[in-house]
Structure 1
Amino acid sequence: MVVSSANTQSFVKLIEYLNCDAIDSDRLLIYGDISWNTYENLLDYLGNSPYFKVVYHQGILQIMSPSSRHEIYKKTLGMLVENYCLETGIYFYPLGSTTLKSQDKLKGLEPDQCYCIGSKKKIPDLAIEVVITSGGIKTLEIYKGLGVSEVWFWQNGELQVFCLENGEYLQKNNSQLLPKIDLELLVSYLDWDEPFDAILDFKAKIRSKKEERSIK
């Protein structure tokens, strides 16, 4: 649903639509001509609600209510990354869906998952987005303005990696932050019916590879 403009009060009824329990699918609202103050008021109104994702880009505002399928994929993908770091001794700081924003650049969003790698920073190094419903704001432009080093997009069973170089994102075959991670193997676990079993198997494969390297 696209709305040309709105004020803070008019969001309430539309948010009720997004939060309709009868529909388990990503629901998306996009508004135009929205001020920065209205965006911040909406963030205050929603608080830390896990039921909505809010994206703002130069006057365009998007509110999404993720489906359970979206949430399962994002949490499983996050757990896979975290367990990889734990098994390989890489320090990381999980920031979840922390709101990232810049009033100067009129940009703001909440990643599905984001991480600082190595040390804690104001802006995360890695952001991960699960795309079930396309057609919304192009979030890569927002991440570029915020200076996030690397962004992963999982969509239609494929993972795309974008790395920030000289102010522009370039698509890569491998992660620059986690250069030894097997992304093809990682993504294959998202098809498993049981996330618990997927995580255990992934950890076992990482340990097996470590043992093979130590023998050599």
Structure 2
Amino acid sequence: MTAVISKPRGENIVRLNSVSWTTFNRLLNELGNKRNQRLTYYDNVLEIMSPLGVHENNNRFIESLIFVIADELGLNLKKFGSLTLKSNQFQQAVEPDSCYYLQNEPKVRNKQQIDLTNDPPPDLVLEIDITGGSLHKLPIYANLGVPEIWRYDGEKLTVFILKKDINNYQEVDKSLAFPFLNLSVIPELIEQSLIDGETAVLRGFRNSFKNSL
């Protein structure tokens, strides 16, 4: 008999149908920012995702890797976490696990609130998707104009780049923000961090990255 090893559950997800845009915005205001849930609203469906340990651990570790890369390259990085990104025009909203300004960082450097009617969208969005189900968010991100999405499913990191001519995402082998980065190394570093510890692995990554410049 062959043992089947399943991936740990990374998220608890609840979906509510027939939710109006007005009701969603009222709920958003009532819940406020001090919560752990991520909300997604699309086509009158409200999704409420509560991240579990494996989800948040991967999210924070990948964020640390992104910071190391930006720091070693001398790039200003502005982090907005699970910022609510919404469009009244399309009546859609999404809250990524993490999002970052790099190229457009100078345009939002002095801001701690983002209004997508005036401000550019984040340059990079990170979605952790252990349990499955984040791909339906791509049309929302496309309508918001997010140029790049990283999706980690617990085994593989996939990068999507927005093709503006078709307003859709294409899976690519190289990051737009960090085109020189070997993406396959990120899942390897995550696994290694469970053995050697996060700080030790980040330190080693910083040293090897610095030597490769």
1:144–1:164 contact (8 Å) kept in structure 2: yes
SS of residue paired to 1:140: helix
| From 57, 77, 81, the counterpart of 1:92 | 77
CA distance in 1, matches of 2:10, 2:34: 18
CA distance in 2, matches of 1:89, 1:187: 24
CA distance in 1, matches of 2:15, 2:77: 34
What's the offset of the Cα at 1:182? Answer: 2.2
Higher mean displacement: 166-175 or 114-123:
114-123
Residue in structure 1 matched with residue 115 of structure 2 by the alignment: none
Residue in structure 1 matched with residue 137 of structure 2 by the alignment: 139
CA distance in 2, matches of 1:52, 1:101: 16
Q: Specify the code of the residue in structure 2 equivalent to 1:128.
A: L
CA distance in 1, matches of 2:208, 2:126: 23
Residue in structure 2 matched with residue 42 of structure 1 by the alignment: 27
Asked if 1:206 is matched to 2:209, the reply is yes
Q: Specify the code of the residue in structure 1 equivalent to 2:73.
A: T
What's the offset of the Cα at 1:51? Answer: 1.4
Residue in structure 2 matched with residue 83 of structure 1 by the alignment: 68
Runs of 4+ in 1 over 4 A off after TM superposition: none
1:30–1:136 contact (8 Å) kept in structure 2: no
SS of residue paired to 1:138: helix
Q: Specify the code of the residue in structure 2 equivalent to 1:170.
A: Q
Higher mean displacement: 39-48 or 108-117:
39-48
Residue in structure 1 matched with residue 50 of structure 2 by the alignment: 65
Structure 1: gaps (5+ residues)? 1-23, 211-216
Change (3 A) 1:136 1:179: closer
| From 155, 158, 177, the counterpart of 1:157 | 155
Structure 2: gaps (5+ residues)? 1-8, 108-118
Residue in structure 2 matched with residue 7 of structure 1 by the alignment: none
CA distance in 1, matches of 2:40, 2:199: 31
CA distance in 2, matches of 1:205, 1:100: 35
Change (3 A) 1:137 1:60: farther
What's the offset of the Cα at 1:31? Answer: 0.8
CA distance in 2, matches of 1:136, 1:113: 13
What's the offset of the Cα at 1:136? Answer: 6.2
What's the offset of the Cα at 1:84? Answer: 0.5
Residue in structure 2 matched with residue 119 of structure 1 by the alignment: 104
Residue in structure 1 matched with residue 185 of structure 2 by the alignment: 185
What's the offset of the Cα at 1:60? Answer: 0.7
Q: CA RMSD in A?
A: 1.6
User: With structure 2 as the length reference, what TM-score do the two structures score?
Assistant: 0.82
User: With structure 1 as the length reference, what TM-score do the two structures score?
Assistant: 0.81
How many pairs does the alignment contain? Answer: 187
1:93–1:119 contact (8 Å) kept in structure 2: no
Residue in structure 2 matched with residue 130 of structure 1 by the alignment: 128
Residue in structure 2 matched with residue 51 of structure 1 by the alignment: 36
Residue in structure 1 matched with residue 174 of structure 2 by the alignment: 174
2:80–2:99 contact (8 Å) kept in structure 1: yes
Higher mean displacement: 98-107 or 131-140:
131-140
What's the offset of the Cα at 1:25? Answer: 5.2
Q: Specify the code of the residue in structure 1 equivalent to 2:103.
A: G
What's the offset of the Cα at 1:53? Answer: 0.6
